[in-house]
């Protein structure tokens, strides 16, 4: 048995683990990185990257047969589903070197391509190697959750991990789960020529502001996606090419393929956490505000920490614990400034509190300002006028922002900056946005906050009147 001692051991080479390994190594720490599967983790290989690539293929196809509004004749696109998947894998291949073993070894990281498990509070075994570390970071991510629906083990189904190997276009894709993954893949596939039915046990896009979600769902239904809500799947039967999903209220849905997209589960099963005295929760590993586990030498970051499951959160967590591990400084993770986005068309984005959450927290102190895309000149020029931004404001400071519309995932960046730095609406209003841009909707939302104070105020009108009378 080979033995290694190191400053920091990172378990998992996904977004969070790679960020910790690169940062710590380049700042002088001795780092060992374990990865028994693919470098880059879920985001590169099965999640963010391939899904956005397939969405791009769907967008290209949709654009060809919806161009008449711009004075360009519609054409029926010739869709090659296998070639679209080649595009997906080409995108992954182009990004892969950034997450490669060779690159991280170039940083000085000792990369071991084995899965690891704890054998004591400070030791992890990976293959025939035992690593003793001063600090250990668990960054093992999450995997698709497959619910225990009656019959699911008797039919062929796909998840976000296996979808990318499918070469033949599904004739009729059934999707169990109406969250971001389900709705993104639903739109991508209907645009690539499949029939699509989404089966959601509660409300589609239910974690977002209902008013904003409705803007997106209306568009998806208009494109032909059948979205069945309050449809809890209770039984699945059939075979390859013909699968039937039964729901609690007696409805049945039959399609050629089944995608299960009901959520994620944290990857903790093989870690043998008990050997290190690490406590679990229902959603992952128990951590405190500093992302430390019940074993003070061990941190957990990203999806496995059981909180928000986004790649950018894992990267943020990496920065939080590097400050603590390398410099011994207090550092805590927050969630109030974390944005998220769903990359449907139109997009859906959120940071901070939704309107309902802000009303519950702040009551009558809350002001909600709104601005519709239909009043944005660039949106009009591009025929992208379906959209809305809402900003929740308390005493002049935003506490949340919700956006549904073109480029919402990019627009939310400004409000993430505002919340992270506790900025005021006056600072957003002072920004000069280039004309004409979609980004002007952010400034116009800030303007909507001040307009009543300026244009509907009797005091302001009296002051202006006096100035005009007495100042030459």
pLDDT digits (tens, 9 = 90+) for 23-62: 999 999 999 999 999 999 999 999 999 999 999 999 999 9
Rounded distance between C-alpha atoms, residue 187 and residue 439, angstroms: 25
Q: Is the pLDDT of residue 467 over 80?
A: no
pLDDT tens digit sequence for 275-322: 999 999 999 999 999 999 999 999 999 999 999 999 999 999 999 999
Q: Give the chain's mean pLDDT.
A: 95
Q: Cis link prior to 346 (omega < 30° from 0)?
A: yes
Q: Which of 126-135, 145-154, 456-465 has the lowest mean pLDDT?
A: 456-465
Burial of 261 (0-12, 13-18, 19+ CB in 10 A): buried
User: At 454, is the pLDDT very low, low, confident or very high (cuts 50, 70, 90)?
Assistant: low
Q: Is the pLDDT of residue 354 over 90?
A: yes
> Measuring CA to CA, how many Å separate 400 from each of 287, 361, 369?
25, 12, 11
Cut 0.85: pTM above it: yes
**Structural domains for the chain:** 2-39+100-143+265-327 (3.50.50.60), 152-262 (3.50.50.60), 339-455 (3.30.390.30)
∠461-464-468 over CA atoms, to 5°?
A: 140
pLDDT of residue 336: 92
Q: How far is CA 222 from the centre of its chain?
A: 24
pLDDT of residue 243: 98
Q: Is the pLDDT of residue 216 over 90?
A: yes
Structure tokens at 439: 């980004």
pLDDT of residue 455: 60
DSSP 373-440: GGG-HHHHHTT----EEEEEEETTEEEEEEEEETTHHHHHHHHHHHHHTT--HHHHHTPPPPSS-TTH
Q: Is the pLDDT of residue 460 over 70?
A: no
pLDDT of residue 14: 96
Q: Is the pLDDT of residue 457 over 70?
A: no
């Amino acid at each position: 048995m080979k033995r290694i001692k190191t400053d920091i051991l990172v378990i998992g080479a996904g977004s969070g683990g790679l960020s910790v390994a690169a940062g710590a190594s380049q700042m002088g720490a001795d780092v060992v990185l374990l990865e028994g599967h693919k470098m880059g983790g879920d985001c590169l290989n099965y999640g963010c990257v391939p899904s956005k690539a397939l969405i791009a293929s769907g967008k290209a196809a949709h654009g060809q047969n919806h161009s008449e509004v711009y004075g360009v004749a519609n054409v029926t696109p010739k869709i090659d589903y296998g070639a679209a998947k080649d595009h997906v894998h080409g995108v992954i291949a182009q990004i892969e070197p950034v997450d490669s073993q060779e690159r991280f070894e170039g940083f000085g990281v000792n990369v071991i391509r084995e899965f690891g498990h704890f054998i004591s509070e400070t030791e992890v075994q990976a293959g025939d190697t035992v690593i003793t570390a001063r600090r250990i970071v668990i960054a093992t991510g999450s995997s698709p959750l497959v619910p225990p629906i009656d019959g699911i083990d008797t039919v062929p189904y796909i998840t976000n991990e296996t979808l990318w190997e499918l070469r033949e276009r599904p004739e009729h894709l059934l999707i169990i789960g109406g969250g971001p993954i389900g709705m993104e893949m639903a739109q991508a596939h209907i645009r690539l020529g499949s029939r699509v039915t989404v089966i959601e046990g509660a409300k589609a896009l239910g974690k977002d502001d209902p008013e904003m979600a409705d803007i997106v769902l209306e568009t998806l239904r208009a494109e032909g996606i059948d979205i069945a809500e309050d449809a809890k799947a209770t039984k699945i039967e059939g075979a390859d090419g013909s699968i039937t999903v039964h729901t609690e209220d007696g409805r049945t849905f039959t399609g050629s393929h089944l995608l299960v997209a009901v959520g994620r589960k944290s990857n903790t099963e093989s870690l043998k956490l008990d050997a290190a005295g690490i406590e679990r929760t229902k959603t992952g590993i128990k951590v405190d505000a500093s992302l430390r586990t019940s074993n003070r030498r061990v941190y957990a970051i990203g999806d496995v920490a059981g909180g928000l499951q986004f790649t950018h959160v894992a990267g943020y967590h990496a920065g939080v614990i590097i400050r603590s591990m390398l410099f011994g400084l207090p550092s805590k993770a927050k969630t109030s400034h974390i944005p998220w986005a769903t990359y449907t068309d139109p997009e859906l984005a959120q940071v901070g509190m939704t309107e309902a959450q802000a009303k519950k927290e702040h009551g009558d102190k809350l002001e909600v300002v709104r601005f519709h895309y239909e009043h944005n000149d660039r949106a009009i020029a591009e025929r992208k006028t379906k959209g809305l931004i809402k900003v929740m404001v308390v005493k002049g400071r935003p506490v949340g922002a919700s956006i549904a519309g073109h480029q919402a995932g990019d627009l939310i960046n400004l409000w993430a900056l505002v919340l992270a730095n506790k900025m005021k609406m006056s600072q957003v209003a002072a920004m000069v946005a280039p004309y004409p841009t979609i980004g002007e909707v952010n400034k116009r939302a800030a303007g909507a906050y001040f307009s009543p104070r300026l244009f509907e105020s009797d005091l302001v009108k009296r002051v202006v009147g006096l100035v005009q009378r007495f100042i030459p």
